A and B are shown apart, each in its own frame.
Chain A
Amino acid sequence: MPIQNPQVLRRFMDEIGTVDQIGIDERVAKYSTRSIKKSSKVFGLKLATTMVDLTTLEGKDTPGKVASLCQKALHPHDDSDIPATAAVCVYPAMVKNAAKWVKGTSVKIASVATAFPSGQAPLKTRLAEVRAAVSDGADEIDMVINRGAFLAGELALVQDEIAAVLEACGDATLKVILETSELETYDNIRAASFLAMRVLRPGDFIKTSTGKTNLNATLGNNQVMLEAIRDYFFATGIEIAMKPAGGIRTAKEALHFLVAVKETLGDAWLTNTRYRFGASALLNDLVRQLVKEKTGAYQAPYSFSESSSAY
């Protein structure tokens, strides 16, 4: 594709402002030094549990695997004090299977559509996939943006495609995956966030990554996106939600991400309608820490269901 207008990205950044990488990295380093203890730790761990989009996105997924994922999302542990997760996240072909288990419960069905993870399929195909997932019962659609078009400066194309997917979603919530590691710079992440937010509805999400590349959610790209959400909120009054995904494996990391939310966007974003974690292994560590807070002792990994860690 010939580059139509190489200056367009630069001009867009002039409009929305740039980001200093060293400054961001320094800011987020402070989040990891916050000391979260006692009841605030329990609150944070439970909150994080309610924010998990429990995910399985593998070629080897089967109806059985999805069924056990759904059970895990509904009842993460024997202890009934531990809340259900926000959603399960599966491929479109698995939506029907998930619906059998979680429809009518508090757990939503999220589905990655639009030729996830590359997005390299004709728009018509991607839109058809979205419609199919929604009609099978998906409450939320996780789409990927056209990174190739973004890097080529075809910003309008990127935005038009998001708008088209949004229309195909109907009432389903949309999560726009920027795939931050392919955009590479914080400036690009901020620009892509604004492109998406300008067509999204209140309560729709921007999301860091697919989890399929080697670098996924980091405190740094999370911060860039939270600040974009904050700036957009002050400019328009529209509240956009946020989902870091991939790479958050421990409860401690999840708490650091929540500290970033608390100190950047405040209390209104500390809820699973405004903030989610796309994760799988994270849930068991959250549960493990919650049980430890209650009993005073760490349990062996195999005492938690679906645990794949050795002992």
Chain B
Amino acid sequence: MSAKRNPARELLFGDLWEYDPAPETAKAFIDERYGLFINGKFVAPKTKKYFDSISPRNEQKLAEIALAGSSDVDAAYQAATTAFKSWSKLPGTERAKYLFRIARLLQDRAREFAVAETLDGGKPIKESRDFDVPMAAAHFFYHAGWADKLDHVTPGRTLAPLGVIGQVIPWNFPLLMLAWKIAPALATGNTVVLKPAETTSITALKFATILQDAGLPPGVVNFVTGAGETGSAVVNHPLAAKIAFTGSTAVGKAIQRALAGTGKRLTLELGGKAANIVFEDAPIDQAVEGIINGIFFNQGHVCCAGSRLLVQESVAAAVLAKLKIRLRSLRTGDPLDKNTDVGAINSKAQLARIQALVAVGVAEGAEIYQADCNLPEKGWYFPPTLFSNVSQSHSIAREEIFGPVLSILTFRTPEEAVEKANNTHYGLSAGVWTDKGSRILKMSTELKAGVVWANSFNKFDPTSPFGGFKESGFGREGGKQGLLDYAQLV
């Protein structure tokens, strides 16, 4: 079926039947000011300093967040070290009870957390409601199941905890990343000092109240909030047995240098520039849907986003035409509206970075397409963007943009597709779209990526390990493999 388009044959995606605004009305219950969560209590920071958390949705201040200095971080580590003594000796069945309780309490308050996540981070409410919060709860449920089975993970050996884990997480999935990090750490008997990203601390601090309600012993989980300096204090603290970091490759490299020779364990989950590979026999409409989901999910603020589309030359024109049509019914705007598909860019700085990289793409000669959309006047927004005629040497095909921007390249043979897909510093994820099952299996062995999705994209499950190759990091999160990264075999 050729989708060559006669310019006269247009579909009108107009306002004949416009959806009325459908804002989510549930309350987020955000406090005016948050302290640090250390030893089971909210405490004022010793720095006496606070910073504002701004909603990307309308640039309004949501709350004041404590700025943790190195003495605050030290207090958190002391609390975690003390708590480790009894927590690590607790039978697995008892630790499991706490994890189950946390998961259920999070489910009970799912709606409130979804709204808070959307206000704080800018992602569409339908994503925080249908993905982030349920998936965070699922990680606690899953790891609760492991807590009393550590003797059975590896035949003849058992798993012992490492100690206090220092964790630093990014702003793209604040609550979910927290769950990915905390759940396996607690299941294996470790205690935690976690620093959320400075733009998205609120759901972590709300989550602290769930820990209180669950009766989790003081000091088992501690939250210190702040920016880079706080993160550096968390990473470099001598009491840390292991550091788990998710974020940019540059910071990941700095952490790895800082930890060299300290004996601390390290796992890194860093950037990506995933190739989404569409073969000519793929079901085109579903591939287009997968491409859209791959790059515009969470405004493209996804480390495994399918930001490079590799499409076989014979169907390239058809795929591009269909992508453009699909873009026109994608709704960008207020993330709190239940009908919004693409929400707000997380921060002003990130918006500036996306704008700069898109300008470079235009300057380097790639062809840009953006659907008309009425973006809200207040807040940080960027329209979904396609670049066609992109080649491997373009900056937009090499650098991680971390925004709703797709670069489209073409290939002729499977070998060329693999070569182009692997021609990157990163190796976090990839997608393959074809009707031919054997080709999927072959591609998955040749692609240097931690996750390869077949005829789908951005699928996650607590049982499935997630992590990267090359400069996308090392270590796995989720599944049995993720568990082993939080334990030592004895």
Contacts and interface: CB of A to CB of B under 8 A. Distances in A.
Given A258-B17, A262-B17, A266-B12, A237 B286 contact: no
A73 B13 CA distance: 30
Interface in A166-218: 194
Contact of B286 (A27, A33, A47, A235): A27
Interface in B1-38: 1-6, 8-9, 11-22
Contacts of A233: 9, 11
Nearest to A14: B281
B355 interface: no
Interface string A1-45: 000000000000001111110111011000001111111110110
Given A24-B286, A33-B338, A44-B17, 20 more contacts: A18-B281, A18-B435, A19-B286, A20-B283, A20-B286, A23-B285, A26-B456, A27-B289, A33-B126, A34-B338, A35-B338, A36-B22, A37-B21, A37-B22, A40-B19, A194-B1, A230-B11, A233-B11, A234-B5, A235-B2
Given A23-B286, A234-B5, A263-B329, A270 B17 contact: yes
Nearest to B292: A27
Contacts of A268: 11-12
B12 to A, nearest CB: 5
B290 interface: yes
Contact of A267 (B4, B16, B435): B16
A231 interface: yes
B284 interface: yes
Contact of A35 (B8, B15, B22): B22
A136 interface: no
Contacts of A18: 281, 283, 435
Contacts of B289: 23, 26-27
Interface string A225-239: 001001101110100
Contacts of A263: 13, 329
A33 B337 CA distance: 12
A234 B339 contact: no
B3 to A, nearest CB: 5
Interface string A258-288: 1000111111101000000000000000000
B298 to A, nearest CB: 15
A15 B6 contact: no
Nearest to A228: B1
9 contacts: A18-B435, A34-B19, A37-B19, A231-B3, A237-B6, A237-B9, A264-B329, A266-B13, A268-B12
Interface of B: 1-6, 8-9, 11-22, 126, 130, 281, 283-287, 289-290, 321, 329, 338-339, 435, 455-456
A270 B16 contact: yes
Contacts of A35: 19, 22, 338-339
A44 B289 CA distance: 25
Given A33-B338, A233-B9, A15 B1 contact: yes
Contact of A235 (B3, B281, B435): B3
Interface residues of A, number: 40
A35 B456 CA distance: 25
Nearest to B13: A266
Contacts of A234: 3-6, 9, 321
A230 to B, nearest CB: 7
Binding site secondary structure of chain B: loop
A222 B198 CA distance: 46
A22 B12 contact: no
B356 to A, nearest CB: 32
B339 A34 contact: yes
Contacts of A230: 11
B17 A267 contact: yes
A224 B21 CA distance: 29
A231 B21 CA distance: 31
Nearest to A233: B9
A230 B52 CA distance: 49
Contacts of A47: 17
B8 A17 contact: no
Contacts of A39: 20
A23 B12 contact: no
Contacts of B11: 230, 233, 265-266, 268
B178 to A, nearest CB: 25
Contact of B1 (A17, A24, A36, A40): A17
A258 B287 CA distance: 23
A18 B14 CA distance: 29
Contacts of B126: 33
Contacts of A44: 17
Contact of B283 (A23, A34, A36, A258): A23
A22 B456 contact: yes
A227 B285 contact: yes
Contacts of A40: 17-20
Contact of A36 (B3, B5, B19): B19
Contacts of B9: 233-234, 237
A26 B297 CA distance: 14
Nearest to A223: B285
A17 B130 contact: no
